[in-house]
Amino acid sequence: MGMFIGEGTPVLLQTITVFEGRGLLDPQPLELRYRVPPGRTLGMLYFRAGSTVSGLVNVSITRDGALLRYFPVAANSAIHVSLAIVEEHPAGALLEVWAAGEGSGTLILDIGYLEV
């Protein structure tokens, strides 16, 4: 998989959403999803999140229903994670974003992928 922006197309999954947590063991879909087009592959380069939620929020990334990664976001905080290990997602793969947490507030997500 090429790792230079000139070699691919950026794909950004972004949202600003009101979040009502139901506990850390009860993830909710955030309606952020992307299906890799035929003849292409995809890799996540970074994850950014901001949260006004009053408790911990765990953002999960799944591929075709299987858990890939957890990104815990502390209460009333923001994080930026540049990924050192980039999984290659094949054509047809469906990536979805879920969140579980305690408390309520606003969740801001910016997840950057490169499609080649």
Residue 82's domain comprises 9-115
Q: What is the CATH number of the domain that holds 45?
A: 2.60.120.1340
**Secondary structure, 3-state, 29-72:** EEEEEEECCCCCCEEEEEEEEEECCCCCEEEEEEECCEEEEEEE
Q: Tell me: the pLDDT tens digits for 9-56?
A: 999 999 999 999 999 999 999 999 999 999 999 999 999 999 999 999
39 belongs to a structural domain = yes
Q: Tell me: the pLDDT tens digits for 64-101?
A: 999 999 999 999 999 999 999 999 999 999 999 999 99
Task: Tell me how many domains the chain contains.
Answer: 1
